[in-house]
């Protein structure tokens, strides 16, 4: 007994939508990825156990709440600080710089002063806060 066999039709899988989705994902990841390399500065934070250095060797910068700074008991504007730091670091590139925040000073003001110190060439930087007794 012979039966007639019908030829099976093969269905093709359409890959065009799959390729479109893959390409859209590749484009999305390419556009959403950023390859920015940021420069950073190392800070040596105080541990409370280090011996105090001679105060004549350290450039003390106090960040005040109004936005101005005091450098070694001398009030300065931010522009004057920039010029002072350039002159100081040209004389001695290894100058130790201690930046103190006072109560009421914002983090943005501290970061702005840190940026100025870094951009003028200061690398030996320490950050601390001043607490007034009273």
**Domains, the chain:** 55-129 (3.30.420.270)
Give 23's pLDDT tier (boundaries 50, 70, 90). very high
State pLDDT tens for residues 51-84: 555 555 789 999 988 888 999 889 988 888 888 9
**In whole numbers, what is the pLDDT of the chain averaged over residues?**
81
- Please name the residues in contact with 76: beta carbons below 8 A apart, sequence gap of 6 or more: 68, 69, 70, 84
pLDDT of 20 above 90 = yes
Q: What percent of the chain has pLDDT over 70?
A: 81
Dihedral sign for Cα 52, 56, 57, 63, please. positive
Interatomic CA distance for residues 89 and 57, integer angstroms: 13
pLDDT the model gives residue 126: 86
- Phi and psi (nearest 5°) for 123? -120, -20
């Amino acid at each position: 007994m012979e039966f007639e066999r019908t030829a099976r039709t093969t269905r093709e899988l359409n890959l065009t939508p799959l390729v479109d989705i893959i390409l859209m994902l590749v484009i999305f990841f390419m556009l959403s990825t950023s390859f920015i390399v940021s420069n950073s500065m190392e800070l040596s934070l105080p541990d409370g156990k280090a011996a105090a250095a001679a105060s004549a060797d350290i450039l003390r910068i106090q960040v005040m709440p109004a936005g101005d700074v005091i450098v070694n008991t001398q009030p300065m504007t931010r522009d004057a600080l920039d010029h002072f730091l350039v002159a100081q670091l040209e004389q001695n590139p290894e100058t130790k710089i201690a930046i103190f925040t006072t109560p009421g000073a914002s983090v943005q003001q501290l970061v702005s002063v840190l940026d100025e110190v870094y951009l003028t060439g200061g690398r030996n930087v320490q950050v601390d806060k001043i607490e007034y007794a009273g």
